[in-house]
């Protein structure tokens, strides 16, 4: 049982407060992903949980115990760094067994446990190599191996895959998902990658400027963002934001207090000319299975993004008409808060 | 008109040639004394006093080396020098490592200012503290022992050792320290098991630097020791000028012998100069 609780957690560097009061409870065995813009404090939060950074005020509790002042190694938390942070002068085996050798366990036991971990991560043949002789993916696996060998209660990952190429990232993502299923350990994972966040997370925590904007399952955040920030942050390409009076929203009932409407690219549809708001295609992005069209509408300052099937023949410069699916439009008030859900 | 337009002649760039000549002259200037010592070490005293210094010896005379190496005082000098150089070298490097680690990885309020003060110690003329130091060691009765020499050399080595180690440690990624701490390492274990093994180049440079400097030092043993059996080799060489005559040949031979340990230390450690951070520290 390793429930992790952050209680009014704050952190200042000098006079600058970067974490402005976090309250969060992460259940035992849960996979939680932290997302948010650069500099919003994800790494700092992770490092406070790990014990690498002092907490200015508030508490970190692990399995009911206050570990705010416990030294990092005493918390039973492992961390995988973005840079891998492998020890360059040690072989793969010595890297993985580093923590155990600090505990002065018998050599034979260390060797056996290292071999067991290496097997599960397909590192068996690489044990005698040095980090410089490994590929990026292999290095990341060694870093994961080093973190799992001590059976930690909580795993922290700070953008572990961001140094890898796209194909390897997909592969390692699956491996981390498998690892989570097998170990059933609590995991906190920081990423900038929407796909990683959506696919790995039991719950996503959206950070902004040292605060939590919303916590929820990936689909909940996607479909029912609590505010404009979350709505704009989750989903790629981003949600379109429209002024309530524009032609695209003509005929929709505007809830009281609504200052802005949001609609996702897949909730816009092309219609016959005259049936919707007119515009012209400015740019086309073909991804294979789907195509994104960026449309210029006369009464909107920004282009509107629209998702089309991959085989759609729309070309830049074409005049089109489009409509929003009415029950998919989300409304936000002047403070950016989402107004009562408009769909059942 | 035609005369006034400059010819597009190929330019002669005088710099490479000038630099080459200057370097060659400097090299000769530096090598000449050594050559002189080598030549005189191979001649008999008689030959030296007869002929000029730069002539090649008629026969290869090794008696000077024999005489220098069989002299029991010389054994004592060499032993004393070793007794000073080894502890002072390890001592100053150890202190430099510890201070440098703190300055690089565990900064505290005011640590940068303190670092500057410490490094400024490098520019302190030793003559300025000579008399106070002599009085201090005299007061505690350590004059004419090797202790003051060891202590002073250790202390004077701290600035350069700290500077070099701090700057090298700063290049070791913080993530390595944090990874080790997450694995349960104490600060001491981070230093000894992660940071120091990665710092062999800096340690090697310091070992050579400090060993050579302390081994060759003339000033401090001259100040702090009196009796012949407490002297170090550099003073010993001068002492050999004996009661009867100036033994140029023996002095030359002993000078050569005395420079062998520093040469050996250099040759032993130079293999680590290039190694080190080529080890692919962090990223891919
Ligand atoms: N040691 C430090 N001293 C001063 N300010 C710091 C320090 N570490 C982080 N900060 C500041 O704290 C804020 C949060 O940084 P943090 O690294 O947690 O952001 P992040 O969400 O991880 O960003 P990214 O996505 O770019 O990694 C930033 O404004 C950063 O400048
Ligand atoms: Mg970060």
Beta bridge partners of A189: A33, A157
State yes or no: cis peptide before A237, omega within 30 of 0: yes
Q: With a 6 A CB cut-off, is A39 part of the ligand 1 pocket?
A: yes
Neighbour-count burial of A63, counting CB atoms closer than 10 A to its CB (0-12 exposed, 13-18 middle, 19+ buried): middle
Query: Could you identify the residue written with the tokens 């490098």?
Result: B122
Is B33 among the domain residues?
Answer: no
Ligand positioned closest to the Cα atom of A208: 1
Say what the alpha-carbon torsion angle B25, B27, B232, B118 is, to the nearest 10 degrees.
100
- B195 CB neighbour count, 10 Å cutoff: 23
The fraction of chain B above a pLDDT of 90, given in percent, is 61
Q: How far apart are CA A62 and CA A54, in angstroms?
A: 16
Is B234 among the domain residues?
Answer: yes
Contact yes or no for B185 and A73 at CB 8 A = yes
Judged by a CB distance cut-off of 8 A, whether residue A25 touches chain B is no
Q: How confident is the model at residue B250 (pLDDT cuts 50, 70, 90)?
A: confident
Contact yes or no for B284 and A52 at CB 8 A = no
3-state secondary structure of A277: strand
Query: Could you identify the residue written with the tokens 């026969």?
Result: B59
**What does the pLDDT look like over A92-130, one tens digit per residue?**
999 999 999 999 999 999 999 999 999 988 898 999 999
* Neighbouring residues of the ion ligand 2, judged by CB less than 5 Å: A 43
Query: A-B interface: how many C-beta pairs under 8 angstroms?
Result: 76
Contact partners, residue B244, CB within 8 Å, separation at least 6? none
What is the least distance, in Å, from the CA of A88 to any CA of chain B?
5
3-state secondary structure of B18: helix
Q: Is the pLDDT of residue B276 over 60?
A: no
Contact yes or no for A83 and B175 at CB 8 A = yes
What is the least distance, in Å, from the CA of B265 to any CA of chain A?
24
Q: Atom 3, ligand 1: which residue's CA is nearest?
A: A13
Q: Which ipTM score applies to this complex? A: 0.86
Contact in structure between A42 and A156 (CB atoms under 8 Å):
no
Contact yes or no for B282 and A77 at CB 8 A = no
Is B82 among the domain residues?
Answer: yes
Is B5 among the domain residues?
Answer: no
Q: With a 6 A CB cut-off, is A44 part of the ligand 1 pocket?
A: yes
How high is the mean pLDDT of chain A? 92
Is B134 among the domain residues?
Answer: yes
**What does the pLDDT look like over A275-286, one tens digit per residue?**
888 899 999 999
- What DSSP letter does each residue of A242-274 carry, written as one string? E-TTSGGGTTPPPPTT--EEEE-GGGEEEE-TT
pLDDT number for residue B9: 61
Q: With a 6 A CB cut-off, is A18 part of the ligand 1 pocket?
A: yes
Q: How far apart are CA A43 and CA B209, in angstroms?
A: 42
Among B231, B261, B245, B232, smallest CA distance to B67 is for B245
Interface test with A, best of B106, B174, B182 (most A CBs within 10 A): B182
Q: What pairing do the DSSP bridges indicate for beta strands A31-35 and A57-62? A: unpaired
Judged by a CB distance cut-off of 8 A, whether residue B196 touches chain A is no
CATH for B91: 1.10.3720.10
Beta bridge partners of A330: A262
Contact partners, residue A88, CB within 8 Å, separation at least 6? A130, A131, A132, B198, B279, B280, B281, B282
In terms of pLDDT, which residue wins out, B246 or A16? Answer: A16
pLDDT number for residue B243: 53
3-state secondary structure of A38: coil
Q: With a 6 A CB cut-off, is A138 part of the ligand 1 pocket?
A: no
Q: What is the mean pLDDT of residues A221-244?
A: 93
Is B58 among the domain residues?
Answer: no
Least confident of A167-176, B43-52, B99-108, B221-230: B43-52
Q: Which residues of B touch A88 (CB under 8 A)?
A: 198, 279-282
Q: What angle do CA A183, A23, A58 make, to 5 degrees?
A: 105
- The residue of chain B nearest to residue A150, with distances taken between CA atoms, is B183
pLDDT number for residue B244: 60
Contact yes or no for A131 and B280 at CB 8 A = yes
pLDDT number for residue B121: 86
pLDDT number for residue B238: 86
Instruction: Report the Cα A166 to chain-centroid distance in Å.
Output: 16
Q: Which residues of A touch B185 (CB under 8 A)?
A: 73, 98, 102
Interface test with B, best of A44, A46, A83 (most B CBs within 10 A): A83
C-alpha B281 to ligand 1 mean position (Å): 23
Contact partners, residue A222, CB within 8 Å, separation at least 6? A198, A234, A235
Tokens describing residue B182: 């997450």
3-state secondary structure of A213: strand
- As for how many domains chain B has, the answer is 1
Q: How far apart are CA A277 and CA A251, in angstroms?
A: 11
Is B7 among the domain residues?
Answer: no
To which H or E segment does residue A146 belong? helix A136-148
Torsion-angle region of residue A34: left (phi > 0), alpha (psi -120 to 50) or beta?
beta
Task: Tell whether the torsion through CA atoms of A117, A123, A125 and A128 is positive or negative.
Answer: negative
What DSSP character marks residue A338? B
Least confident of A78-82, A299-303, B14-18, B55-59: B55-59
**What does the pLDDT look like over A125-152, one tens digit per residue?**
999 999 999 988 899 999 999 999 988 9
Q: Is the pLDDT of residue B125 over 90?
A: no
Which of A164-168, A212-216, B201-205 is predicted most confidently? A212-216
Is B49 among the domain residues?
Answer: no
**What does the pLDDT look like over A153-177, one tens digit per residue?**
999 999 999 888 888 889 889 999 9
- The residue of chain B nearest to residue A90, with distances taken between CA atoms, is B194
* Candidate from A88, A102, A163 with C-beta closest to B284: A163
Contact in structure between B182 and A52 (CB atoms under 8 Å):
yes
Tokens describing residue B42: 């191979």
**What range does the domain containing B159 cover?**
75-278
Contact partners, residue B151, CB within 8 Å, separation at least 6? none
How high is the mean pLDDT of chain B? 87
Contact yes or no for A78 and B182 at CB 8 A = yes
Tokens describing residue A216: 């929820």
- What DSSP letter does each residue of B4-19 carry, written as one string? TSPP-PPPP--HHHHH
Q: Which residues of B touch A139 (CB under 8 A)?
A: 284
* Candidate from B185, B189, B279 with C-beta closest to A88: B279
Query: Could you identify the residue written with the tokens 């068996």?
Result: A124
**What does the pLDDT look like over B54-69, one tens digit per residue?**
777 777 888 888 888 8
Q: With a 6 A CB cut-off, is A210 part of the ligand 1 pocket?
A: no
pLDDT number for residue B277: 44
Among A275, A325, A281, A332, smallest CA distance to A304 is for A281
Q: How far apart are CA A171 and CA A230, in angstroms?
A: 28
Among A112, A85, A82, smallest CA distance to A97 is for A112
Closest ligand 1 atom to Cα of A45: 18
Least confident of A250-264, A318-332, B218-232, B236-250: B236-250
Contact yes or no for A85 and B176 at CB 8 A = yes
Contact in structure between A118 and A100 (CB atoms under 8 Å):
no
Q: How far apart are CA A334 and CA B232, in angstroms?
A: 85
Tokens describing residue B197: 């093994």
Tokens describing residue A122: 């397909």
Interface test with A, best of B183, B272, B276, B279 (most A CBs within 10 A): B183
pLDDT number for residue B148: 95
């Amino acid at each position: 049982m390793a429930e992790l609780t952050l209680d009014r957690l704050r952190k200042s560097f000098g006079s600058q407060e970067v974490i402005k009061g976090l309250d969060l409870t992460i259940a035992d065995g849960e996979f939680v992903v932290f997302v948010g813009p650069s500099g919003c404090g994800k790494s700092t939060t992770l490092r406070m949980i790990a014990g690498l950074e002092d907490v200015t005020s508030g508490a970190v509790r692990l399995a009911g115990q206050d570990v705010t002042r416990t030294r990092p190694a005493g918390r039973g938390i492992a961390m995988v760094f973005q840079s891998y942070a492998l020890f360059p002068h040690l072989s793969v085996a010595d890297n993985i067994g580093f923590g155990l050798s600090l505990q002065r366990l018998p050599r034979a036991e260390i060797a056996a446990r290292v071999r067991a971990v290496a097997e599960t991560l397909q590192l068996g043949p690489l044990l005698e190599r040095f980090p410089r002789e490994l590929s990026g993916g292999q290095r990341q696996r060694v870093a994961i191996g080093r973190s799992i060998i001590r059976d930690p209660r909580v795993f922290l990952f700070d953008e572990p895959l961001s140094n890898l190429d796209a194909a390897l990232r997909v592969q390692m993502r699956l491996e981390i998902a498998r690892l989570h299923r097998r170990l059933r350990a609590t995991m906190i994972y920081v990423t900038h990658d929407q796909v990683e966040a959506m696919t790995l997370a039991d719950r996503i925590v959206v950070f902004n400027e040292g605060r939590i904007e919303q916590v929820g399952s990936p689909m909940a955040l996607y479909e029912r963002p609590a505010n404009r920030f979350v709505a704009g942050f989750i989903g790629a390409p981003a949600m379109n934001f429209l002024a309530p009076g524009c032609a695209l929203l003509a005929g929709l009932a505007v809830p009281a207090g609504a200052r802005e409407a949001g609609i996702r690219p897949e909730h816009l549809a092309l219609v016959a000319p005259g049936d919707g708001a007119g515009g012209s295609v400015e740019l086309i992005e073909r991804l294979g299975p789907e195509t994104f069209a960026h449309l210029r509408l006369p009464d909107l300052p920004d282009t509107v993004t629209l998702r089309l099937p991959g085989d759609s023949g729309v070309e830049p410069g074409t005049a089109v008409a489009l409509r929003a699916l009415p029950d998919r439009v989300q409304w936000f008030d002047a403070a950016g808060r989402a107004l009562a859900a408009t769909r059942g | 008109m035609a005369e006034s337009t400059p010819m597009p002649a190929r330019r002669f760039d005088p710099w490479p040639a000038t630099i080459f000549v200057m370097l060659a002259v400097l090299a000769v200037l530096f090598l000449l004394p050594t050559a002189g010592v080598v030549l005189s070490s191979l001649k008999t005293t008689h030959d030296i006093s007869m002929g000029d210094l730069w002539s090649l010896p008629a026969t290869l005379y090794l008696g000077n080396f024999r005489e220098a190496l069989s002299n029991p005082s010389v054994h004592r000098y060499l032993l004393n020098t070793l007794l000073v150089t080894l502890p002072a070298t390890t001592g100053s490097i150890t202190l430099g490592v510890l201070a440098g680690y703190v300055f690089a990885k565990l900064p505290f309020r005011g640590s940068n200012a303190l670092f500057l003060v410490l490094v400024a110690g490098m520019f302190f003329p030793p003559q300025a503290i000579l008399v106070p130091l002599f009085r201090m060691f005299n007061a505690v009765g350590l004059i004419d022992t090797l202790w003051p020499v060891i202590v002073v050399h250790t202390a004077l080595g701290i600035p350069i050792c700290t500077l070099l180690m701090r700057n090298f440690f700063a290049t070791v990624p913080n993530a390595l320290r944090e990874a080790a701490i997450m694995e349960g390492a104490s600060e001491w274990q981070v230093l000894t098991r992660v940071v120091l093994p990665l710092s062999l180049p800096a340690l090697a440079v310091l070992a050579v630097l400090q060993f050579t400097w302390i081994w060759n030092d003339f000033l401090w043993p001259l100040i702090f020791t009196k009796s012949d059996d407490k002297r170090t080799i550099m003073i010993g060489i001068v002492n050999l000028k004996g009661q009867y005559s100036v033994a140029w040949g023996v002095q030359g031979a002993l000078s050569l012998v005395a420079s062998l340990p520093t040469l050996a230390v250099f040759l032993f450690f130079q293999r680590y100069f290039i190694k080190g951070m080529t080890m692919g520290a962090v990223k891919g």
